[in-house]
């Protein structure tokens, strides 16, 4: 398999404080890769570094080339859709405008209209709430909207930051079912950040374990599941 | 009764002036989340540019269009050169920058064009409108122009992609970048549009108050009162606020003996303070209800 995203020796900083100390990992074309770890390990920071939201050094290669000199908006336009922590939907805009904003960099009107129907197909509740302000949606609906908006970019790489956070177990299962479908049916590659290691490993092909800004364990999801250290600390059995 | 009618029309006439300035204020507020204290001086400077173009022999509408386009470019430049470098700085830094811009534009205009009042022509003349004793053609022009601007802004924000992108860039710059919106250019565009609206406002106001570097001094305060009253996030509210302030100002000046002509300006300040105390978001401003 060829890698779609190749991260090498990535350091990231909040002000002068280093939050990542040289991490290296890949996301293969068409695969789901999970970054696991406890609170504050550097998972969200990694996604932010990829999207150019914080100061970083090292190398981040997308198929198109290095992302190190690109601005956040240009990285998005290359097809990297980031569903941020806290969802980041536009609360004052309607659901439909939020989806439209996801496709704001695209010129193909027909394609955008088709993708909007596709998103409404995946999340029928969003179609029902189409004219409502996004700020009035429930937490689960907002997460659906955030994912739907990311899909409107027709992304080649989807960055998901804690998509299970604050959601009811049933909603989490539904969301992860949709991620699987997106990956299998539409070939969207996914980089997933999760504290819930169990559900992440169910979806992912590969996983990396991050502790205090360093990768301490890597392997296929099956390998990770069988690893004693990870099982004790993160799966709890 | 005739006095009331006269005062109401006079109120609406000055109200359009305030509404125009308030629209420009709202525009910048939409783009950067700050009130542009230099908005009045920017409008004044734009009007001088139009005046200069006419001095050089251009016909009125060519000068009008030229000044609007130059002001748009000037607004973009002001943002890129002065405000972009301090985008993440503290609010106070930004305010100092606004005040600095105000002073610079004011003295630059005085230096280039001196401080004597100059007549500025109204686009369609100032004769009574269709023989009416109450309304002049220029007052009618201003009312129509204000509503035209408002409709254009409404369509821009409601129905265009750029308008949508601009709104979301203000609401949440981080998320806007994540969907690929070039937030910095949206802000620059907001400045350009505000400067252009200010230019149009200035060129409509100048025939009424005469053109000179300090022509906007009182007007900006009223415009500010109008924008605050209507709600800084609402173009329609700004226009409503403009008319309301104009009418209140004139009626109070006529019917409340204490106020008279002397304390009219105080009315503007009084409106600003009472609105901020009673309803900080203004009459039509978006109240943000946080989810619990």
pLDDT at B124 over 60: yes
Which pLDDT value is given to residue B123? 87
Q: How far apart are CA B195 and CA B127, in angstroms?
A: 29
- Element at B204 (helix H, strand E): helix B183-209
**Quick one: B59 and B181 in the same domain?**
yes
Chain A: residue whose CA lies nearest to B286: A92
**Quick one: B114 and B45 in the same domain?**
yes
Cα R_g (chain B), whole angstroms: 19
Which pLDDT value is given to residue B137? 85
Measured in degrees and rounded to the nearest 5, phi and psi for residue A20 equal -125, 135
Q: In chain A, which residues have their Cβ closer than 8 Å to the Cβ of B176?
A: 101
What average pLDDT score do residues A142-154 get? 94
**Quick one: B44 and B172 in the same domain?**
yes
**Quick one: B42 and B138 in the same domain?**
yes
3-class SS string, chain A = CCEEEEEEEEEEEECCEEEEEEEEEEEECCCEEEEECCCCCCHHHHHHHHCCCCEEEEEEEECCEECCCCCHHHHHHCCEEEECCCCCCCCCCEHHHHHHHHCCCCCCHHHHHHHHHHHHHHCHHHHHCCCCEHHHCCHHHHHHHHHHHHHCCCCCEEEEECCCCCCCHHHHHHHHHHHHHHHHHHCCEEEEEECCHHHHHHHCCEEEEEECCEEEEEEEHHHHHHCHHHHHHHHCC
Contact between A168 and A136 under an 8 Å Cβ cutoff? The reply is: no
**CA-CA-CA-CA torsion sign (A222, A227, A228, A232):** negative
From B164, B180, B288, residue closest to A97, measured CB to CB? B164
Task: Give the model's confidence band at B291: pLDDT under 50 very low, under 70 low, under 90 confident, else very high.
Answer: very low
Contact between A103 and A159 under an 8 Å Cβ cutoff? The reply is: no
Q: B175 vs A51: CB contact, 8 Å cut-off?
A: no
Residue B261 in any domain: the answer is yes
**CA-CA-CA-CA torsion sign (B210, B211, B213, B215):** positive
From B161, B172, B174, residue closest to A104, measured CB to CB? B161
Task: Give the model's confidence band at B77: pLDDT under 50 very low, under 70 low, under 90 confident, else very high.
Answer: very high
Residue B5 in any domain: the answer is no
The boundaries of the domain holding residue B138 are 21-215
B184 DSSP 8-state letter: H
Cross-sheet strand order for the sheet of A32-36: A80-83, A157-161, A189-194, A32-36, A206-211, A214-220
Domain boundary among B186, B215, B244: B215
pLDDT at B285 over 80: no
Mutate which: B87, B175, B186, B188, vs A, most A CBs within 10 A = B175
Question: Which region among A153-162, A179-188, B6-15, B159-168 has the lowest average model confidence (pLDDT)?
Answer: B6-15
**Quick one: B33 and B132 in the same domain?**
yes
pLDDT at B273 over 90: no
pLDDT at B286 over 70: no
What average pLDDT score do residues A18-44 get? 92
Residue B11 in any domain: the answer is no
What average pLDDT score do residues A81-96 get? 92
Q: How far apart are CA B194 and CA B25, in angstroms?
A: 7
Comparing CA positions, the residue from A36, A25, A19, A134 lying closest to residue A87 is A134
pLDDT at B1 over 80: no
pLDDT at B133 over 80: no
Task: Report CA A179 to chain centroid distance, whole Å.
Answer: 10
Domain boundary among B215, B233, B253: B215
Residue B16 in any domain: the answer is no
Total structural domains within chain B: 2
Which residues are CB-contacts of B223 (< 8 A; sequence separation ≥ 6)?
B17, B18, B19, B20, B21, B22, B24, B25, B39, B40, B242
Which pLDDT value is given to residue A229? 80
**Quick one: B71 and B47 in the same domain?**
yes
Residue B292 in any domain: the answer is no
**Quick one: B60 and B165 in the same domain?**
yes
Q: How far apart are CA A83 and CA A72, in angstroms?
A: 13
Which pLDDT value is given to residue B35? 85
Within 10 angstroms of residue B8's Cβ, the number of other Cβ atoms is 16
Q: How far apart are CA A103 and CA B173, in angstroms?
A: 16
> What percent of chain A has pLDDT above 90?
77
Q: How far apart are CA B41 and CA A75, in angstroms?
A: 39
Q: In chain B, which residues have their Cβ closer than 8 Å to the Cβ of A91?
A: 171-172, 288
Angle made by CA atoms B256, B257, B258, in degrees to the nearest 5: 95
pTM reported for the whole predicted model: 0.86
Q: Which value does ipTM take for this structure?
A: 0.92
Mutate which: B157, B180, B290, vs A, most A CBs within 10 A = B180
**Quick one: B210 and B243 in the same domain?**
no
Which pLDDT value is given to residue A1? 60
Residue B235 in any domain: the answer is yes
Domain boundary among B166, B199, B215: B215
Which pLDDT value is given to residue A98? 95
Q: A92 vs B167: CB contact, 8 Å cut-off?
A: yes
Task: Please tell me the distance in Å from A178's CA to the nearest CA on chain B.
Answer: 21
pLDDT at A75 over 70: yes
Return mean pLDDT, chain B: 87
Q: What is the pLDDT of residues B97-111, one digit of tens each?
A: 999 999 999 999 999
Which pLDDT value is given to residue B28? 81
Within 10 angstroms of residue B39's Cβ, the number of other Cβ atoms is 30
**Quick one: B43 and B162 in the same domain?**
yes
B160 DSSP 8-state letter: -
**Quick one: B100 and B114 in the same domain?**
yes
From A88, A91, A93, residue closest to B174, measured CB to CB? A88
DSSP lists the bridge partners of residue A217 as: A209
Which pLDDT value is given to residue B261? 66
Return mean pLDDT, chain A: 92
Q: How far apart are CA A90 and CA B213, in angstroms?
A: 41
Q: A102 vs B161: CB contact, 8 Å cut-off?
A: no
Residue B14 in any domain: the answer is no
Residue B259 in any domain: the answer is yes
From B168, B178, B289, residue closest to A72, measured CB to CB? B178
Task: Give the model's confidence band at B292: pLDDT under 50 very low, under 70 low, under 90 confident, else very high.
Answer: very low
**Quick one: B25 and B152 in the same domain?**
yes
A104 touches chain B (CB under 8 A): yes
**Quick one: B231 and B132 in the same domain?**
no
């Amino acid at each position: 398999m060829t890698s779609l995203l190749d991260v090498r020796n990535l350091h990231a900083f909040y002000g002068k404080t280093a939050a990542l100390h040289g991490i290296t990992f890949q996301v293969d074309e068409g695969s789901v890769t999970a970054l696991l770890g406890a609170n504050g390990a550097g998972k969200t920071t990694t996604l932010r570094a990829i999207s150019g939201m914080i100061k970083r050094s090292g190398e981040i290669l997308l198929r198109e080339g290095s992302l190190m000199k690109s601005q956040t908006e240009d990285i998005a336009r290359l097809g990297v859709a980031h569903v941020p922590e806290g969802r980041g939907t536009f609360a004052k805009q309607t659901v439909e405008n939020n989806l439209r904003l996801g496709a704001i960099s695209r010129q193909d009107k027909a394609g955008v209209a088709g993708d909007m129907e596709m998103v409404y197909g995946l999340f029928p509740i969003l179609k029902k709430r189409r004219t409502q302000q996004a700020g009035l949606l429930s937490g689960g609906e907002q997460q659906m909207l955030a994912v739907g908006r990311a899909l409107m970019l027709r992304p080649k790489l989807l960055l998901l930051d804690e998509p299970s956070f604050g959601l009811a177990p049933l909603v989490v299962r539904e969301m992860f079912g949709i991620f699987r479908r997106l990956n299998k049916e539409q070939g969207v590659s996914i980089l997933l950040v999760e504290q819930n290691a169990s559900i992440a490993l169910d979806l992912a092909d590969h996983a990396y374990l991050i502790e205090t800004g360093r990768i301490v364990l890597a392997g296929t999801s099956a390998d990770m599941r069988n690893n004693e250290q990870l099982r004790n600390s993160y799966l709890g059995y | 009764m005739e006095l009331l009618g006269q005062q109401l029309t006079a109120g609406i006439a000055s109200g359009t002036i305030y509404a125009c300035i308030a629209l420009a204020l709202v525009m910048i507020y939409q783009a950067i989340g700050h009130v542009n204290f230099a908005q009045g001086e920017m409008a004044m400077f734009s009007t001088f540019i139009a005046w200069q173009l006419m001095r050089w022999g251009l016909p009125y509408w060519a000068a009008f269009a030229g000044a609007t386009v130059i002001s748009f470019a000037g607004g973009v430049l002001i943002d890129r050169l002065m405000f972009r470098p301090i985008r993440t700085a503290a609010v106070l830094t930004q305010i100092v920058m606004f005040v600095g811009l105000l002073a610079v534009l004011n003295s630059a205009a005085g230096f280039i064009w001196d401080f004597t009042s100059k007549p500025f022509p109204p686009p369609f003349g100032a004769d009574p409108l269709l023989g009416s004793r109450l309304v002049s053609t220029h007052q009618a022009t201003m009312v129509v122009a204000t509503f035209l601007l408002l409709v254009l802004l409404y369509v821009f924000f409601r129905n265009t992609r750029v308008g949508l992108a601009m709104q979301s860039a203000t609401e949440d710059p981080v998320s806007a970048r994540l969907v690929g919106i070039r937030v910095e250019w949206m802000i620059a565009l907001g400045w350009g549009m505000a400067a252009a609206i200010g230019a149009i406002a200035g060129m409509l106001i100048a025939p009424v108050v005469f053109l000179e570097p300090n022509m906007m001094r009182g007007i900006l305060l009223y415009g500010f009162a109008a924008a605050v009253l209507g709600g800084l996030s609402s173009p329609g509210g700004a226009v409503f606020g403009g008319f309301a302030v104009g009418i209140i100002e004139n009626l109070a000046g006529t019917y409340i003996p204490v106020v008279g002509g002397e304390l009219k300006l105080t009315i503007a300040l009084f409106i600003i303070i009472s609105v901020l105390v009673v309803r900080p978001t203004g009459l039509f401003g978006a109240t943000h209800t946080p989810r619990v």
